[in-house]
Structure 1
Amino acid sequence: MKRVLITGAAGFLGSHLCDRFIKDGFEVLGMDNLITGNLSNIEHLFGNKHFTFYNHDVSNFVHVPGELHYILHFASPASPIDYLKIPIQTLKVGSLGTHNLLGLAKAKNARILVASTSEVYGDPLVHPQTEDYWGNVNPIGPRGVYDEAKRFQEAITMAYNRFHGVETRIVRIFNTYGPRMRLNDGRVLPAFIGQALRGEDLTVFGDGSQTRSFCYVDDLVEGIYRLLFSDYDLPVNVGNPDEITIKEFADEIIKLTGTNQKVVYKELPKDDPTQRQPNINVAKEKLDWSPKVSRAEGLKITYDYFKQLPKTEWYKKEHDFKNFNRK
């Protein structure tokens, strides 16, 4: 039985990846320090003999006994609320954490896939974004702690690939949504649905003309899975190129939820990208992958998930980091 280590296992994407690899007959080692992850996302796996959980911060030395065939590095705060509140930890997991896991991959002769992001493109001057675009990023702005952590992560991953011969894969993830997202994580989709559930007006930052492209989580997991087992070692965009403005998206959420809230406008945050749309030609060519789930279908599943959560979850405003070491 092949063994895979998944970091960030209790998070939104990590937990779905754990499910996929368990389903496909792997022994899964999940690792998370629970700073933004939630054990409720993986508690259904705790009785499975092929799943082991390690409560550990990968910014510290990582040891895994026995053979290890694959590593998927998904440990990182990923929402603006999180990485603006814990900027040092965000930088550390992208740099020290990635370094530790690449060293582990080298020691175990394992293939490693690291989760990068569309944020490496910053506020792009090229649209849609292709993998050969180097980006337009402010390294010292508030978002720089996340953007630059991911850009460094890509650089050190390719250095281990070229210098040490480690088998590496890099996925650049665009906006993804689905069950197990946190309603209070600051990203646009759960923010809109949370406001609708609470009967609040929907907050649009800027004039609403900025765009995003939303990919359902099952499609993303499939793209990641195919990339891991491909022979392609350069970055690959994985996302849904179906682009929509934030204002149009707010209107879709109001229609979906059957609420009569209005849209209110606030100042656009510094360095917030005005456009997001992946060019997925590389994924189509190298992975034979493209998204299958329509936004209408995915949004209904996601809304039904949020609606059945305890109402206490609807009213949580932000993540609580009070018990975490902030050094």
Structure 2
Amino acid sequence: MRSFVPNEGYSKVSGIPVLQGRRTVLVNGGGGFLGSHLCERLLQRGHSVTCLDNFSTGRRANVAHLASNTRFRIVEHDVRQPFDIEASLIFNFASPASPPDYQRDPVGTLLTNVLGAVNTLDCARKTGAIVVQSSTSEVYGDPIHSPQHESYCGNVNPIGPRGCYDEGKRSAETLFFDYHRTYGVDIKVGRIFNTYGPRMRLDDGRVVSNFIVQALRNADLTIYGDGQQTRSFCYVDDLIEGFLRFSAAGSACNGPINLGNPAEMTVRRLAEIIRDLTNSRSRIVHLPAVTDDPRQRRPDISRAMAELGWQPRIGLEAGLARTVDYFDGLLAGTEKAEVV
């Protein structure tokens, strides 16, 4: 039976789940933006971590600082192919996540989510591991209800250009719950809303990284559409804390659970904030809207608050300031390398 103690930096809430003892953890997609932060936090808490990644969108640089840790190893592998790795806890974070990445190879994206889920679940079934799926707010599509509660079935276009990712994640959720009902696999499904922070790529293609890189270069901040579409932005440290608590919760707590920041704002307002934070001379310009771009994104996190004692703690401006510093350093290094 797990014991529960509050985590450092969070207010004391009774029943907060925390992983006890030293575990052997497999992180699929561990070289990616989110996966690398997860690997780091797990190591900090004393666990042994295997990072499984084919580095198609992840980067070895994201985990290079972990290489000297004897409890960390990298396995270069594509989750679309079966694997058999001993672990007591598995996080499946393997998938392209930004629209440019998943639309570059839509068939590969769909198969990564579907075959990746099957192979991950088969591994968990063999080893008896708890398996945590990183799902997405994209399962809600272009929602007609806001905020989005986990019971909302969504409004997804299965044949649109975003369908490879949206339906891939929806199919993965189906597989997770069917493996749970059919084979008794101990599963957990967390739905991630817009997340940002250090280790996003310069060419990531998502709105926060796009605006920051453009602002630091004093280039035009490009908004697709009228800019009145809304998003809710969660800093990466908060999101990882949510997944760690979720992974340690009892088997009855299997989700789906929304993990995101319910503070909603327009894309236009985000552009203005980033321009001010960077003291940029950038103009804000509008380009044609993107097909199937959701008009609203706002999570209902009441379930996460009740079952995990979790809610975001890092405000937008504080999180953006850290992210701006990261990209500023990244750009300085890139420009220096180009000069050399």
- What's the TM-score bracket when you normalise by the shorter of the two chains? over 0.9
Structure 1 residue 48 corresponds to structure 2 residue 69: yes
Q: Counterpart amino acid of 2:223?
A: V
Structure 1 runs not aligned, ≥5 long: 316-327
Paired with 1:182 and 1:63, the residues of 2 have a C-alpha distance of 30
Paired with 2:236 and 2:156, the residues of 1 have a C-alpha distance of 26
Residue 185 of structure 1, CA deviation: 1.4
User: What residue in structure 1 maps to residue 120 of structure 2?
Assistant: 101
Paired with 2:266 and 2:323, the residues of 1 have a C-alpha distance of 19
Q: Counterpart amino acid of 1:275?
A: Q
Paired with 1:313 and 1:290, the residues of 2 have a C-alpha distance of 36
User: What residue in structure 2 maps to residue 6 of structure 1?
Assistant: 27
What SS does the corresponding residue of 1:104 show, helix, strand or coil? helix
Instruction: Pick closer, same or farther for the CA change 1:313–1:139 going to 2, 3 Å.
Output: farther
User: What residue in structure 2 maps to residue 72 of structure 1?
Assistant: 91
Paired with 2:181 and 2:283, the residues of 1 have a C-alpha distance of 53
Correspondence for 1:35 among 40, 56, 81: 56
Structure 2 runs not aligned, ≥5 long: 1-21
Instruction: Pick closer, same or farther for the CA change 1:99–1:314 going to 2, 3 Å.
Output: farther
What SS does the corresponding residue of 2:330 show, helix, strand or coil? coil
Q: Counterpart amino acid of 2:284?
A: V
Residue 197 of structure 1, CA deviation: 1.6
Residue 261 of structure 1, CA deviation: 1.4
User: What residue in structure 2 maps to residue 82 of structure 1?
Assistant: 101
Contact 1:9/1:32 (8 A) holds in 2: yes
Contact 1:173/1:238 (8 A) holds in 2: yes
Contact 1:197/1:314 (8 A) holds in 2: no
Structure 1 residue 207 corresponds to structure 2 residue 226: yes
Q: Counterpart amino acid of 1:10?
A: G
What SS does the corresponding residue of 2:199 show, helix, strand or coil? coil
Residue 43 of structure 1, CA deviation: 0.4
User: What residue in structure 2 maps to residue 190 of structure 1?
Assistant: 209
Correspondence for 1:306 among 307, 327, 330: 327
Residue 311 of structure 1, CA deviation: 4.1
Residue 252 of structure 1, CA deviation: 0.3
When normalised by structure 1's length, the TM-score is 0.94
User: What residue in structure 1 maps to residue 133 of structure 2?
Assistant: 114
Alignment of 1:269-308 (within 5 A): 269-308=290-329
Paired with 1:153 and 1:311, the residues of 2 have a C-alpha distance of 39
Alignment of 1:103-142 (within 5 A): 103-142=122-161
Paired with 1:143 and 1:311, the residues of 2 have a C-alpha distance of 33
User: What residue in structure 2 maps to residue 168 of structure 1?
Assistant: 187
What SS does the corresponding residue of 2:119 show, helix, strand or coil? helix
Structure 1 residue 18 corresponds to structure 2 residue 35: no
Paired with 2:149 and 2:23, the residues of 1 have a C-alpha distance of 33
Contact 1:194/1:314 (8 A) holds in 2: no
Contact 1:183/1:314 (8 A) holds in 2: no
The percent of aligned pairs where both chains have the same amino acid is: 48
Query: Number of paired residues?
Result: 313
Instruction: Pick closer, same or farther for the CA change 1:314–1:227 going to 2, 3 Å.
Output: farther
Q: Counterpart amino acid of 1:43?
A: A
Structure 1 residue 216 corresponds to structure 2 residue 235: yes
Greater CA deviation, 39-48 or 305-314? 305-314
Correspondence for 1:229 among 213, 234, 248: 248
Correspondence for 1:147 among 166, 170, 183: 166
Instruction: Pick closer, same or farther for the CA change 1:314–1:295 going to 2, 3 Å.
Output: farther
Residue 310 of structure 1, CA deviation: 4.0
Q: Counterpart amino acid of 1:164?
A: Y
User: What residue in structure 1 maps to residue 14 of structure 2?
Assistant: none
- Aligned-residue Cα RMSD (Å) equals 1.2
Contact 1:30/1:51 (8 A) holds in 2: yes
When normalised by structure 2's length, the TM-score is 0.90
